[in-house]
Structure 1
Amino acid sequence: MNLLELPALLVLDVQKGFDDPYWGKRNNLEAEDNIARLLTEWRNRHGEVIYTKHLSLDPGSPLHHRNPLGTELKEVIKPVEGEVIFTKNVNSGFIGTELESYLKRKQVKSVVITGLSTQHCVSTTTRMSGNLGFDTYLVSDAIAAFEITDHKGVKHTAESIQEHELAMLQKEFATIVTTDNLIKQLVQQ
């Protein structure tokens, strides 16, 4: 990985509603701490930090738009003044928001994606980012997946969901990196 200029850091949907048992078991409990580490690096370098917040239209979701506690961003990654938040009610951070035009207006060519959850908003936003022509990096230890039961009634672990999503996103849509590797690359520049 060779980062010529500091990419925009995207923090997707790191909301309190994801702590609800509604979602099932989760992997990578260190994701928020790794996102916080990346936030520190970006803020120290005066980099572009962008958040998305999911406001679900499903009344049964802990992220329902009328649930202010569930939709609130977690304390560990709280935005500071000047950091932008785009709200959405679909999986992609690009649909129904000004994210794409904002990035183009700021002349951002590459993005680093973090957040929740891997199989939903992270995967969808990563795919669209790559398709829209952004040089996209996905931080494998700054995202987390949840277990899921498929159409046949088979339960898949959060870890297997994470690994499969990363395998599908690698090369086609993004370069998969780790927090340590990314920070090391930034320090060497």
Structure 2
Amino acid sequence: MEINENAALVVVDVQKGFELDFWGRRNNPEAEGNIAVLIDVWQETGRPVVFVRHDSVQEGSPLEPGTEGNAFKDFVEERRGKGAGPELLVTKSVNSAFYGEPDLDAWLKGAGVGQIVIVGIQTNMCNETTARMGGNLGYEVLFPLDAMHTFDLEGPFGWVQTAEELTRATAVSLHGGRFARVVATEDVVKGAVSAG
């Protein structure tokens, strides 16, 4: 797998509010470890890292600004500002990191970035929406499925999907629809280290 010298790692919404029972059952307990590995590799090789934070405008949300839940998880916060390459903080109140402040698309294009790697929370929500928009905007999007997680979810008609089912549906939609290439953390790391 080829990872560009200036590929950007986009770390989406890895916030303490997602640790609360509010969300229900999650999948992939290895997500945080894989996210940490990727941040470390990106920082060590001088590639750009984008940290995205969801500032919820819904009253009572676990991600509401000014609450403990709005903060990044400790393993992310400890890594911010430690890389050899450029770093950006994007704040948003919707699903896509491309609709945040500052303008992610403008920042990436200004840096000549054509390839992005999306990790974080939640697989089928902000990660998927950001990946779809990234693909539409012309980026080559890599989506390491084991470096993210989501939660069981109830939809219309009493339908319930498990976190695993939602993850699989997201992977098939993104990969099959050519919005992104769904990959594994291990392969991204190998590509980044060999190129870096």
TM-score strictly above 0.5: yes
Match of 1:11 in 2: 11
Q: Which amino acid letter does the alignment assign opposite residue 136 of structure 1? A: V
Instruction: Say yes or no: does 1:173 pair with 2:174.
Output: no
Residues 3-152 of structure 1 mapped to structure 2, 5 A cutoff: 3-67=3-67, 69-78=68-77, 79-80=80-81, 83-97=87-101, 98-152=103-157
TM, length-normalised to structure 2: 0.91
Q: 1:4 to 1:85 in 2, by over 3 A?
A: closer
Per-residue Cα deviation, 1:130-165 (whole angstroms, up to 9, x for no partner): 000011101110010110001111221111111111
Task: Give the CA deviation at 1:4.
Answer: 4.1
C-alpha separation between the residues in 1 aligned to 2:175 and 2:163?
18
Q: 1:74 to 1:109 in 2, by over 3 A?
A: same
What SS does structure 1 have at the residue aligned with 2:182?
Answer: strand
Task: Give the CA deviation at 1:116.
Answer: 0.2
Q: 1:181 to 1:4 in 2, by over 3 A?
A: same
Q: Which amino acid letter does the alignment assign opposite residue 125 of structure 1? A: T
Task: Give the CA deviation at 1:83.
Answer: 2.4
Contact 2:13–2:72 under 8 Å retained in 1:
yes
Contact 2:41–2:193 under 8 Å retained in 1:
no
Q: Runs ≥4 in structure 1, deviation > 6 angstroms?
A: none
The sequence identity of aligned pairs, in percent, is 38
Per-residue Cα deviation, 1:83-124 (whole angstroms, up to 9, x for no partner): 211100000000143111000111111100001001210010
Per-residue Cα deviation, 1:19-59 (whole angstroms, up to 9, x for no partner): 01111110011111101001111111011000110011111
Unaligned runs of 5+ in 2: none
What SS does structure 2 have at the residue aligned with 1:53?
Answer: strand
Contact 1:63–1:71 under 8 Å retained in 2:
yes
Unaligned runs of 5+ in 1: none
What SS does structure 2 have at the residue aligned with 1:91?
Answer: coil
Task: Give the CA deviation at 1:185.
Answer: 1.8
C-alpha separation between the residues in 2 aligned to 1:164 and 1:152?
18
Q: Which amino acid letter does the alignment assign opposite residue 175 of structure 1? A: R
What SS does structure 2 have at the residue aligned with 1:11?
Answer: strand
Contact 1:33–1:76 under 8 Å retained in 2:
no
Q: Which amino acid letter does the alignment assign opposite residue 114 of structure 1? A: V
C-alpha separation between the residues in 1 aligned to 2:158 and 2:64?
26
What SS does structure 1 have at the residue aligned with 2:148?
Answer: strand
C-alpha separation between the residues in 2 aligned to 1:107 and 1:185?
19
Match of 1:155 in 2: 160
TM, length-normalised to structure 1: 0.95
Q: Which amino acid letter does the alignment assign opposite residue 80 of structure 1? A: G
